[in-house]
Amino acid sequence: MIALICIVATIFALPNFLPQSARDALADFLPPNTMNLGLDLSGGSYLLLEVETEVAVKDRLESMRGDLRKRMREEGIGFSSFQVGTDTISFRLIDLAQLDAARTAIGDLIGGNFGSAAEFTLQISDSGDAVLTLTEAARAAIASGAVDQSIEIVRRRIDELGTREPTIQRQGANRILVQVPGLSDPERLKALLGKTAKLEFRFIDESMDVTAALQLGPPPGSEVLPSEEMGPDGQPFQFLVQKEVIVAGDRLTGAQQGFDERNRPAVLFSFDTVGARRFGDATRENVNRLFAIVLDGVVITAPRINEPILTGSGQITGSFTVESANDLAILLRAGALPAPITIEESRTVGAELGADSIVAGTNAAIAGFALVVVLMLLVYGLFGIFANIALILNLIIIVGIMTALQSTLTLPGIAGIVLTMGMAVDANVLIFERMREEVAQGRSVISAVDAGYNRAMSAIIDANLTTLLAVLILFQLGSGPVRGFAVTLGIGITVSMFTAIMVTRLFVIYWLWGRKPKALPI
């Protein structure tokens, strides 16, 4: 069983020590994977993102305002002076005789949105002034949900780039840490992550000229939005667009880069059943009318509806390159962020620095390994050779386990391996010193070996368990490099228990059986 464990670990570890050409030539039944190198070893990008959770809260209030207005109209309740504050929605009832009807209608709308607790609290005075207030629990839930959703969308966007093993984790209340090893184009990553990707299909408001709307203000229910295309004066074209959304991007089921009939780069999209029906109805009823495709408040294109679009699919054209069209398709497939994110910190680790780190870490590991090997040979002779063979197997098994688990090796991880090499022979030192004491007391060779292993076991277990406890605390409370160090050290300690106690003991027992020595060479 000991031999089998060592052989399996060697098979998993082997690809790490072979060039790519040799790995490609390995038999199909052999594992081809190698350990993933972290950002500090392979180079790449480090980003610290902050989610603007206040925008998510505001969007929820705006959504509730729309639902509230709709419910009041359905119930025939007159109202006026609708206003949205930081945490409140306020309005006034026109007919005080409808106070009870308003309380019932609004109570049905807001009750039980967060389990037993309501999302909003309602206060209606006898004078007809009504205020809905977002609860602290609801605000915290919206903010936390926005961060969680942003993490998942960020993960999907990065995975679409074809990167390998990105590290994406929450940091604090509203920040996201992103590390992408080996990424050669960090600016493209920033552009992808920095866009909310909120896609909307809206009608152009043709009731007023854009110039008049800019001078006099847009009509109710409309707004002026800039275009992606620039005019002769170097400023973006302006469009007067209705605020009402025909179909939103959350109804998309697919988006990919393609080409239009003029062989220009475009984004091809398709809606789900509900989105296709809404879009079909809107285009059927508004033939010859202009509509705008709006992305993050910018009009991408504003085509005219020549005929009803009933297929549930279409294309977005504009001043795209193949790469920008592909990036937009990635954004639409991944989904819109629930709130904008800003890049608080950005660092790029070059491949040369990563290569230097690998060389420095390798040199440190070789130096530590060499010193331990020489010391064990000088102090314990033949038994030191046994311990050194077990040490080599210890390193192979660590690499094999990390490869099988597809762990990411970082510079602190290399430090953990270097530290493990010293701790791997610690158990052997305790056992060998105990053997010396037993021999000095006049015990026979076999009795001294047996006593050395049995009586040193409690000290070995205590020493390794206390270190493992420290490792668990580092892993639980630490993050990033600290966790990488803890994982590598934890694996190393566990493996060292196996190699020091089982492997070295196996060598000693076979030596005793084969040589039947009269004295211990220790």
Please check whether residue 171 lies inside any domain of the structure.
Answer: no
Q: Look up the domain containing 421 and give its range.
A: 2-43+350-515
| Cα radius of gyration (the chain) | 34
Contact predicate 205/197, CB 8 Å: no
pLDDT at 469 (0 to 100): 93
Statement: residue 374 has pLDDT above 90: yes
Please check whether residue 402 lies inside any domain of the structure.
Answer: yes
208 plus 356 within the same structural domain = no
Across 21-25, 100-104, 508-512, least confident range: 21-25
Name which residue leads in pLDDT, 57 or 319. Answer: 57
At 183 the three-state DSSP class reads coil
Q: For residue 287, which amino acid is it?
A: V
Domain boundary among 346, 370, 391: 346
342 plus 356 within the same structural domain = no
Statement: residue 258 has pLDDT above 50: yes
pLDDT, tens digit, for every residue of 31-51? 878 887 776 677 777 888 888
Please check whether residue 314 lies inside any domain of the structure.
Answer: yes
CA distance 457 to 431: 8
What percentage of the chain has pLDDT greater than the value 90? 7
Q: Which two tokens stand for residue 517?
A: 């020595």
Structural domains of the chain, count: 2
pLDDT at 378 (0 to 100): 92
Q: Mean of the pLDDT values across residues 86-93?
A: 85
330 plus 402 within the same structural domain = no
341 plus 485 within the same structural domain = no
Q: Which two tokens stand for residue 508?
A: 């000693």
Q: Backbone phi, then psi, for 228, in 5-degree steps? A: -75, -25
Q: Domain of 253: which CATH number?
A: 3.30.1360.200
Mean per-residue pLDDT of the chain = 82
Residue 74 class from Cβ within 10 Å (0-12 exposed, 13-18 middle, 19+ buried)?
exposed
Q: Would residue 165 be called left, alpha or beta, if left means φ above 0 and alpha means ψ between -120 and 50 degrees? A: left
> In the structure, what pLDDT confidence band is assigned to residue 114 with cuts at 50, 70 and 90?
very low
Q: Mean of the pLDDT values across residues 216-234?
A: 83
pTM comes to: 0.56
249 plus 287 within the same structural domain = yes
242 plus 298 within the same structural domain = yes
Q: Domain of 10: which CATH number?
A: 1.20.1640.10
Q: Mean of the pLDDT values across residues 108-130?
A: 70
pLDDT at 165 (0 to 100): 60
Q: Which helix (H) or strand (E) holds 175?
A: strand 175-181
pLDDT, tens digit, for every residue of 415-457? 888 888 888 888 888 899 999 898 888 888 888 888 888 888 8
Pairing state between β 313-317 and 265-271 = antiparallel
Please check whether residue 23 lies inside any domain of the structure.
Answer: yes
248 plus 217 within the same structural domain = yes
Please check whether residue 433 lies inside any domain of the structure.
Answer: yes
CA distance 412 to 482: 7
306 plus 431 within the same structural domain = no
pLDDT at 354 (0 to 100): 59
> In the structure, what pLDDT confidence band is assigned to residue 7 with cuts at 50, 70 and 90?
very high
Domain boundary among 346, 378, 395: 346
Q: Which residues contact 393 (CB under 8 A, 6 or more apart)?
A: 6, 9, 499, 503
Statement: residue 399 has pLDDT above 50: yes
Q: What angle do CA 448, 451, 452 make, to 5 degrees?
A: 80
pLDDT, tens digit, for every residue of 56-84? 888 888 878 877 887 888 888 888 877 88
Please check whether residue 497 lies inside any domain of the structure.
Answer: yes
336 plus 360 within the same structural domain = no
Q: Mean of the pLDDT values across residues 146-155?
A: 82
334 plus 381 within the same structural domain = no
Domain boundary among 279, 311, 346: 346
Contact predicate 213/224, CB 8 Å: yes
Q: Which two tokens stand for residue 346?
A: 């950005």
pLDDT at 515 (0 to 100): 85
CA distance 351 to 325: 29
Statement: residue 479 has pLDDT above 70: no
Q: Mean of the pLDDT values across residues 391-401?
A: 91
Please check whether residue 83 lies inside any domain of the structure.
Answer: no
269 plus 322 within the same structural domain = yes
pLDDT, tens digit, for every residue of 159-212? 655 445 677 888 888 888 888 776 666 676 777 777 777 778 888 988 888 888
Please check whether residue 457 lies inside any domain of the structure.
Answer: yes
Angle formed by the axes of helices 445-477 and 481-498, nearest 10°: 160
pLDDT at 341 (0 to 100): 83
pLDDT at 183 (0 to 100): 66
Q: Which two tokens stand for residue 34?
A: 């190698």
Q: Mean of the pLDDT values across residues 12-34?
A: 79
Across 133-137, 302-306, 495-499, least confident range: 302-306
204 plus 304 within the same structural domain = yes
